[in-house]
Amino acid sequence: MMMKKIIAMSALGAALLLGGCKKFLDERPFNQVPLADFYKNRYDVEAAVAGMYSGFQQEMVGKDQYTEKYMYWGEYRSDNFDRFLIYTKDFVDEVVLNSLTPTNQFSDWTGLYSVIGRANNNIKYIPLTATLDPLLTPAMVNSYLSQTYALRGMSYFYLVRVWGDAVVRLEPYESLDAVADEPRVAKDKVINEVIIPDLQKAYDLVKKGDKPVVFNIGEAAICATMADVYMWKKDYPNAIKWIKLLFAAKGPTGALYTGASELNLQPSATWKNMFTAPASSMESIWSIHWDYQKNGCACMQTSWTSNNKQISIDEGIYGTWFQPQVAVATRTTDIRPRQTADVFFGGTKPNRDRFVKWYPTAANPIAADPWPASNQLLPVYLTMYRLGDIYLLYAEALNATGDLPNALKYLNYVRKRAVVPEYLPTDPLVSNQIAMENAILNERQLELFGEGKRWFDLVRTNHVKAVMDPILKRRQTAAGNISAPGFLNPEHKVYWPLHRNVLNSNAKLNQNPGYTD
Amino acid sequence: MYPRELAKETGYSTVLVNVGTIQSKGFEFVATGTPIATKNFEWSIMGNITFERGKVKKLAGGIPLFVGNKWYVEEGGKIGNFYGWKNLGVYQWNESNAYDENWKKLTLVLENGQPKIENGKAVYTSNGQPYTGNVLSKSAPDGKLKGGDAEWEEVKADGVIDDEDRQILGNATPDFYLGVTNNFRYKNIALSFTFNGSFGGEVYNSLLQTQNNPSNTGAGSPDMVYNSWRKPGDIAKYPYYIEKNNRGNLKTNQNSLYVEDASFFRLSSARLSYQLNEKWSKTVGLRRITTYVYGSNLLTWTNYRGYDPEFSTNNPLTPGDDVGKYPRRREFGLGINVNF
């Protein structure tokens, strides 16, 4: 009798517990919203688009100090930057010595796929939200979708340039029952079947002739990305076509880019404005927003930080372009080097780590006024595309199609604005197609120094081996290596390895050749 | 709940699921006794010993993961495994980086304190016999290893020291803990003291690693200064300081040189007290007066080179990383206990 009672009571207890389980244990994180409760109105959509941009911004500028992938992917592997020997880290050594391994933190593509995942959600749900909230007008839907497609295309473009073949995901991953592990798709296929269609959709949806917000992807930014993609494909007629469409679009000041001469570029005297106040520059196309007040310290190795840097400007380019600017006697007319790095600090033994391009400095700086006051409180706006960049891309495309006179014209517009002598058509440096390609590449190196372009330029034009060999040999000799073989295996090593965690988490991935699987 | 690694291309990094299982097995043995108890003398003793084995039974999808910058969690592995490269010393000479075709290290023959060279080639022996076969050497991804470079054990013998050559270097969980408390009383005098200890656990000495490689002030610790390779022929523990950043010489946070035995045995507390004769206390109107002296953390026996091998960690997956935490303080005191 007693025993039965106990069993009955325990059964009741168990029933209560089981019944209660769902309610007690179904905890939801406070800082997250289930997808089913989101995308209900215009404000949700605005937040979702902002979240997508924010993911991309954090990839480029970096979540933590010195993690700016804008530079790690776009420039630190090139001849523009080297390790700062005293403060370097193991992963920086790998980057500058062409000895990357799958444990290098910058070989992790997770962040880009996070941006792509957010874009996939937007593409699926923004049109559905429009049926729920009349405040979300068709014009807004088109604008947000256009930006979303463009940013997804841009993210895939980074994937293809950094790792080559990439996994393609165009639908949101919404259930753990769905297949998570997908193999990589060939890089050409990603370009042709994902990136170009995405950018085309973005262009079709964007309202033509609108005055864009410089921190968003507008009409011209889509054209610029498309041109860049076709340049990567070496499809020059299409690149030229998209650059011409860009010239017909409006910049953030409301003026047409036109692309007729150096007069469409930011004037020499106020060259700095397009970096410090991109919204007010006729040259700006798309910049990344980073506000110290809202986002905290940008803390890149090419911005102000309170700590020592692991990366500095390479001694080669420093010696030929920056150092001669210190003394008036050896100084050139070029307006750029002294506004790019503080050449005065440190005298004959500079640290080469004082990068000032993003900050308002005097147009003609002298030793007395190198760093702006309270620079740590200033915003940093990284340029993704600007008209000077496009002029040089245009010159590269025209040169490749055999139109040397027009290529020279656009190369000279940039040089004229930089206040350096324009090339004469007879100059052996530009008198044939190969020389011209090199001259354009060299101009891009200087004009776009620190803008995350140089490495991709070297890969695109197949100049990695030729340019990096002597640099690597010098670094290998300085490192005390027994032999200095230069930049080994460029056919494989132009790509990064896939990070070990990325490989482990998806059974269908394989490592890039030349790296350990 | 456990964050399961998800294919990164889904746009998500991890998902919280319930399928990681960590098993902690162990047993504790406690003994107490009072061997002597007379009117004037009493001795009681209490001892305990605890064995603990933490193991990762199951991980979602079987996907191993790196935790922090030193630990590796895999199915069937122990919790707190340090992961990295096993250091085998420093190459004495450029010619010391020499292996036979099975990657077995060759012995360099010296002549007048220099490597013996015949026909432009260094002379080696293998198992005491002259070696005439092919001589292979190992490389880092950025160059061939040479005299003054650190030598590493290869897990995958391919001549390249890379991330595939990492292995379990040690474990932060002790094999067993020990505690012994003794209480003695002789008439009015009482003495009690406690020993505790922990055996078989390892600690990653991050403090020493940082001291050895400060950023801009030169070699930092005496250990580094006196044990670095300086010139060909040196038998050293640390690589050539000038070239420490090259050819993977540092292996920061994953270097077996800094995985140290954290076993210790310590006199953690002692207390000696004297109770005044009750007749005296009553004359001042008090029931009982006890005076005592005590101390804590008095003596430690350990081979660990950091401040203190005993410290706590917040994250159970990342135990045993000594970044130079404040050691336990040593305390002495005396007091008087008055009962009204």
| Segment A310-360, tens digit of pLDDT | 999 999 999 999 999 999 999 999 999 999 999 988 878 888 999 999 998
A55 vs B: CB within 8 A: no
The residues with which B293 forms a beta bridge, in sequence order, are: B272, B334
Look-up: residue for tokens 């979602």?
B60
- Phi-psi map region of A347: left, alpha, beta (phi>0 left; psi -120 to 50 alpha): left
Quick check: B15 pLDDT over 90? no
pLDDT digits (tens, 9 = 90+) for A271-313: 999 999 999 999 999 999 998 888 888 899 999 888 899 999 9
Q: Is B19 on the interface with A (CB under 8 A)?
A: no
Q: What is the pLDDT of residue A19?
A: 35
The single residue listed with the structure tokens 């050896």 is: A330
The confidence band for B277, taking pLDDT boundaries of 50, 70 and 90, is: confident
Residue A74, chain B, CB below 8 Å: the answer is no
Q: In this predicted complex, what is the ipTM?
A: 0.79
Q: Check if B250 contacts A (Cβ < 8 Å).
A: yes
B65 contacts A501? CB cut-off 8 A = yes
Contacts of A169 in chain B (CB under 8 A): 9-11
B174-183 b/e with 16+ CB inside 10 Å = b? bebbebbbeb
- Across the range B150-177, mean pLDDT stands at 92
**At B314, is the pLDDT very low, low, confident or very high (cuts 50, 70, 90)?**
confident
Which residue of A lies nearest to B12 if distances are taken between CA atoms?
A: A114
Residue B10 touches partner A, C-beta closer than 8 Å:
yes
Looking at residue B322, what DSSP letter applies? E
CB B330 within 8 A of CB B298: yes
**A159, A166 Cβ separation under 8 angstroms:** yes
Give B 132-151 residues with CB within 8 A of chain A: 140-144, 146
CA Rg value for chain A: 26
Separation of alpha carbons A68 and A304, rounded Å: 13
What is the distance between the alpha carbons of residues B145 and B159, in angstroms, rounded to a whole number? 10
Q: What's the whole-number average pLDDT of chain B?
A: 89
Beta-carbon separation of A481 and B65 below 8 A: no
Residues of chain B contacting residue A101, judged by C-beta atoms under 8 Å apart: 141, 162-163
Nearest CA-CA partner of A86 in A348, A351, A301: A351
Contact flag A97-B63 (C-beta cutoff 8 Å): no
Q: Which of B141, B164, B215 sits opposite A86 (nearest CB)?
A: B215
Best mutation target among A482, A501, A503 (most B Cβ atoms within 10 Å) is A482
For residue A186, the 8-state DSSP code is -
CATH topology of domain A38-174+181-207+482-517: 1.25.40
* Minimum distance, in Å, between the CA of residue A376 and any CA atom of chain B: 23
- Residues A386 and A388: their CA atoms lie apart, in Å, by 6
Assign B43 to helix, strand or coil. Answer: strand
pLDDT value, residue A14: 34
Tell which A residues from 275 to 314 touch B, by Cβ distance under 8 Å: 308
CA dihedral over B255, B261, B267, B268, signed as positive or negative: positive
Q: Where are the domains of chain A?
A: 38-174+181-207+482-517
pTM for the predicted model, two decimal places: 0.88
Task: Answer yes or no: do B162 and A101 touch at CB < 8 A.
Answer: yes
Task: Report the DSSP beta bridge partners of residue B189.
Answer: B186, B274
Confidence check: pLDDT of B3 > 70: no
Report whether A266 contacts A204 (CB < 8 A).
no
Contact B5 A501 (CB under 8 A): yes
Q: Could you tell me which of A329, A249, A234 has the C-alpha nearest to residue A286?
A: A249
Closest chain A residue by Cα to residue B158: A516
3-state secondary structure A216-267: CCCHHHHHHHHHHHHHHCCCHHHHHHHHHHHHCCECCCCCECCCCCHHHCCC
Instruction: Please answer whether residues A223 and A245 qualify as being in contact, where contact means their C-beta atoms are separated by less than 8 angstroms.
Output: yes
Helix (H, G, I), strand (E, B) or coil at B2: strand
Interface contact A501-B240, CB threshold 8 A: no
Residue B250 one-letter amino acid: L
A:B CB pairs within 8 Å: 119
CA pair distance B198, B173, nearest whole angstrom? 9
How many Å apart are CA A384 and CA B152, to the nearest integer?
43
Measure the CA–CA gap between A394 and A264, rounded to whole angstroms: 14
Could you tell me if A460 lies within 8 Å of chain B, comparing CB atoms?
Answer: no
Q: Does A87 touch chain B (CB under 8 A)?
A: yes
Extract the tokens encoding B272: 């000696």
Which of the residues A194, A312, A505 would you substitute to probe the B interface, choosing the one with the greatest number of B C-beta atoms within 10 Å?
A: A505
Parallel, antiparallel, or unpaired: how do β-strands B321-322 and B202-205 relate?
A: parallel
Q: Using DSSP bridges, classify how beta strands B81-84 and B167-171 pair: parallel, antiparallel or unpaired.
A: antiparallel
Q: How far is A462 from chain B (nearest CA, A)?
A: 22
CA angle A166, A171, A176 (to 5 degrees): 95
For residue range B82-126, list pLDDT tens digits in order. Answer: 999 999 999 999 999 999 999 999 999 999 999 999 998 999 999
Q: How far is A173 from chain B (nearest CA, A)?
A: 6
**Percent of chain A as helix, strand, coil, to the nearest 5:** 50, 5, 45
Distance from CA of A484 to the nearest CA of B (A): 8
Which stretches of chain A drop beneath a pLDDT of 50? 1-25
Q: Residue A366, by phi and psi: left (phi above 0), alpha (psi -120 to 50) or beta?
A: beta
Alpha carbon A485 to chain centroid, angstroms: 30
Instruction: Check residue B218 and give its pLDDT.
Output: 61
Judged by a CB distance cut-off of 8 A, whether residue B18 touches chain A is no
Report the SS3 class of residue B109.
coil
Predicted confidence band of residue B215 (pLDDT cuts 50, 70, 90): low
